[in-house]
Amino acid sequence: MRHLLRTRDLTRDEAIHILDIALDMAAVQNREVKKLPTLRGKTVVNLFFEDSTRTRISFEAAAKRLSADVINFSARGSSISKGESLKDTAQTLQALGADGVVIRHPVSGAPQVLAVSGWITAGVINAGDGTHEHPTQGLLDAFTIRQRVHGAGARGRGLDGVRVIIVGDILHSRVARSNVWLLTTLGAHVHLVAPPTLLPVDTSGWPVTTGFDLDGALAGHPDVVMMLRIQEERMHGSFFPSSREYTRTWGLDGPRFRALQPDTIVMHPGPMNRGLEIAPIAADSPQSTVREQVANGVSVRMSALYVLLSGERETATVSGDGATEHHAIQQRSAAQ
Q: List binding-site positions for carbamoyl phosphate.
A: 54-55, 104, 134, 137, 270-271
Closest separation in Å from C-beta 53 to ligand CP: 4
Instruction: Specify whether the CB–CB gap between 190 and 162 falls below 8 A.
Output: no
Q: Which is nearer to ligand CP, 50 or 99 (CB)?
A: 50
Closest separation in Å from C-beta 270 to ligand CP: 5
By a kind-dependent CB cut-off of 5 to 8 A, residue 195 interacts, out of ligand ASP, ligand CP, none, with none
Q: Which of 1, 9, 35, 52 binds ligand CP (CB under 6 A)?
A: 52
Q: Which is nearer to ligand ASP, 222 or 297 (CB)?
A: 297
Q: Does 54 bind ligand CP (CB under 6 A)?
A: yes
The angle that helices 290-309 and 322-335 make with each other, rounded to 10 degrees, is 100
**What is the CA angle 54-229-44, rounded to 5?**
25
- Residue showing the smallest CB distance to ligand ASP in the complex: 229
Q: Determine the interface stretch with ligand CP among 9-17, 30-38, 53-61, 62-70 (rule: CB under 6 A).
A: 53-61
- CB-neighbour burial class of residue 31 (10 A; exposed 0-12, middle 13-18, buried 19+): exposed
Pairing of strands 189-193, 163-167: parallel
Q: Determine the interface stretch with ligand CP among 27-35, 49-57, 73-81, 85-93 (rule: CB under 6 A).
A: 49-57
Q: Which among 26, 34, 88 has a CA at the least distance from the CA of 297?
A: 26
Q: Which is nearer to ligand CP, 52 or 72 (CB)?
A: 52
- CA 332/CA 66 separation, integer angstroms: 11
Closest separation in Å from C-beta 240 to ligand CP: 22
By a kind-dependent CB cut-off of 5 to 8 A, residue 229 interacts, out of ligand CP, ligand ASP, none, with ligand ASP
By a kind-dependent CB cut-off of 5 to 8 A, residue 53 interacts, out of ligand CP, ligand ASP, none, with ligand CP
Residues 110-129 touching ligand CP, rule: CB under 6 A, are 128
Residues that bind ligand ASP in the complex, under the rule CB under 6 A = 128, 134, 174-175, 229, 231, 269-270
By a kind-dependent CB cut-off of 5 to 8 A, residue 42 interacts, out of ligand ASP, ligand CP, none, with none
What x-and-dash track marks residues 271-310 binding ligand CP by CB under 6 A? Answer: x---------------------------------------
**What is the CA angle 232-235-240, rounded to 5?**
85
The H-or-E segment that residue 46 falls in is: strand 43-48
Q: Which is nearer to ligand CP, 296 or 317 (CB)?
A: 296
Which residues contact residue 6 at a Cβ distance below 8 angstroms, ignoring those fewer than 6 apart? 126, 132, 133, 135, 178, 181
Q: Is 169 helix (H, G, I), strand (E, B) or coil?
A: coil
Which residues contact residue 104 at a Cβ distance below 8 angstroms, ignoring those fewer than 6 apart? 47, 48, 49, 50, 52, 55, 56, 126, 127, 128, 129
Annotated binding site for L-aspartate: 82, 174, 229
Closest separation in Å from C-beta 277 to ligand ASP: 10
Q: Does 130 bind ligand CP (CB under 6 A)?
A: no
- CA 86/CA 287 separation, integer angstroms: 42
- CA 101/CA 116 separation, integer angstroms: 13
- CA 222/CA 238 separation, integer angstroms: 30
Give the binding site for ligand CP (CB under 6 A).
52-55, 128, 137, 269-271
